[in-house]
């Protein structure tokens, strides 16, 4: 495989959406310029059935490696997801069953293929599952693995320190998680790992293990995590159910992007699109000087992202629908339909039946927040019995609709 050592492309790889590179940006730049082929991976624990836009940032980084001729791997953490990554958790993550994990990740390759090329004849991206080696790990091997680190090293993690301050328990299996993630690097004999800045601890464990087991350097690329400037929370969080999924329907994806804070838009262009940085810098300057309307820039971002994951025609339809629903205050042109046999239903049961709410408790919360409408009328009584009528339109929030037939 012939390697590409284009300096401009290498520089973009080392800087776009990147927060930190270990051991250093300069050392990785030298390797990339040398023409040596690297094995690079990004791992995802399937804790939800869809990838989100922040995963897309890491996939774009992998794509840049792939375009330079390097071997790229998308690793599904079907074993580690069953443990639960303690990163950022004030309480232990819920442990998932094998069935739940496999159900969650069944469409990951299809979603990732919007960015990565799995069908390339010369250099296809690869898909791997870490249960392949972690399920086979013997107790004696696990003890040998754990013997490389101390309790003191593990307890220093910020989330564990936070728990200690709040007198929250730390469970033994949570100490094992970074070891298993680190062992992924050893099992695949990688040269580079890509992940969010919240994963630096776990990725550096893998770097140490590569030195111990393989006597080689592993580079760690930590991408920036986008935060909402109003709340200080990261924009995309699977664990908190706050994200824009790569499989979200075009209209929903478009609408969710339009709901983002104006301040974060230039960074979203950098992270979630392939628009050249020169153009993004110009947009940022024009926004600062108020030469551009933030809403128009956001609409361009929304259209660009929907085009990446659903195609240009779908993006154009989503744009028209958004204008129709939010500017002209009309119902969407196309509304999903559901057949309801019952003549009456409690409103909570109706929302769950139409899948506009995942549970009765969520349905109740939505009603109390005045987020539910039936035939354009806000519903405020969660005890209400609804008369089912043909053609009745149920709406949740600004973007979810269902028509009874």
Residue 163 and residue 96 in one domain: yes
Q: What is the domain extent for residue 270? A: 250-327
pLDDT at 275: 97
Which residue among 223, 242, 269 closes a domain? 223
By the 10 Å C-beta count (0-12 exposed, 13-18 middle, 19+ buried), 37 is classed as middle
- Tens of pLDDT along 352-383? 999 999 899 999 999 999 999 999 999 999 99
Residues 155 and 278 in one domain: no
Q: Is residue 121 located within the same domain as residue 85?
A: yes
pLDDT, the chain, mean: 93
Model confidence pLDDT, tens digit, residues 231-286: 788 888 876 777 899 999 999 999 999 999 999 999 999 999 999 999 999 999 99
Share of the chain above pLDDT 70, in %: 98
pLDDT tier, 195 (very low <50, low <70, confident <90, very high otherwise): very high
Q: Are residues 260 and 319 in the same domain?
A: yes
The stretch 305-321 carries a mean pLDDT of 96
Q: What does the pLDDT read at residue 111?
A: 97
Are residues 373 and 297 part of one domain? no
- Final residue before a domain boundary, out of 299, 327, 355: 327
Residue 232 domain-assigned (yes or no) = no
Task: Residue 18: name the closest of 264, 199, 194 by CA.
Answer: 194
Q: Are residues 107 and 255 in the same domain?
A: no
Same-domain check for residues 18 and 102 = yes
| Phi (first) and psi of residue 400, to 5 degrees | -105, 125
**187 has a pLDDT exceeding 90:** yes
Is residue 183 included in any domain, yes or no? yes
Residue that is last in its domain, among 205, 223, 241: 223
Which CATH number fits the domain that encloses residue 259? Answer: 1.10.240.10
Residues 131 and 209 in one domain: yes
The pTM is what? 0.87
User: Residue 332: inside a domain, yes or no?
Assistant: no
């Amino acid at each position: 495989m012939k390697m590409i050592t284009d300096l401009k492309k290498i520089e973009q790889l080392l800087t776009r959406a990147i927060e930190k590179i270990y051991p250093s940006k300069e050392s990785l730049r030298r390797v990339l310029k040398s023409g040596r082929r690297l094995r690079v991976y990004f791992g995802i624990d399937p804790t939800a059935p869809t990838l989100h836009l922040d995963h897309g940032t890491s996939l774009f980084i992998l794509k840049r490696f792939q375009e330079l001729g390097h071997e790229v791997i998308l690793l599904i953490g079907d074993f580690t997801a069953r443990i639960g990554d303690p990163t950022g958790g004030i309480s232990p993550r819920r442990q998932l069953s094998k069935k739940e994990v496999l159900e969650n990740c069944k469409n990951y390759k299809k979603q990732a293929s919007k960015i990565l090329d799995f069908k390339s004849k010369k250099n296809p991206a690869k898909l791997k599952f870490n249960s392949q080696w972690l399920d086979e790990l013997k107790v004696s091997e696990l003890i040998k693995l754990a013997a490389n680190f101390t309790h003191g090293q593990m307890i220093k993690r910020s989330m564990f320190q936070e728990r200690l301050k709040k007198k929250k328990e730390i469970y033994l299996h949570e100490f094992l998680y970074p070891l298993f993630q680190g062992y992924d690097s050893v099992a695949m004999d990688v040269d580079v790992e890509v992940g969010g800045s919240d994963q630096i601890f776990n990725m550096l464990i893998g770097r140490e293990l590569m030195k111990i087991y393989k006597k080689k350097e592993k580079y760690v690329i930590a991408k920036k995590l986008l935060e909402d400037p109003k709340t200080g929370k990261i924009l995309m969080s699977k664990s908190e159910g706050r994200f824009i999924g790569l499989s979200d329907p075009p209209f929903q994806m478009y609408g969710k992007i339009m709901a983002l804070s104006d301040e974060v838009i230039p960074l979203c262009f950098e992270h979630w699109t392939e628009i050249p940085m020169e153009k993004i810098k110009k947009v940022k300057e024009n926004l600062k000087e108020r030469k551009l309307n933030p809403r128009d820039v956001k609409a361009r971002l929304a259209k660009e992202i929907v085009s990446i994951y659903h195609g240009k025609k779908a993006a154009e339809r989503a744009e028209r629908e958004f204008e129709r629903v939010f500017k002209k205050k009309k119902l969407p042109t196309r509304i999903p339909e559901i057949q309801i046999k019952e003549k009456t239903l409690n409103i909570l049961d109706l929302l769950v039946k139409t899948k506009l709410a995942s549970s009765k408790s969520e349905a109740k919360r939505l009603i109390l927040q005045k987020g539910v409408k039936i035939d354009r009328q806000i519903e405020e009584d969660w005890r209400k019995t609804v008369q089912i009528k043909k053609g009745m339109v149920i709406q949740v929030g600004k973007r979810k609709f269902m028509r009874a037939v």
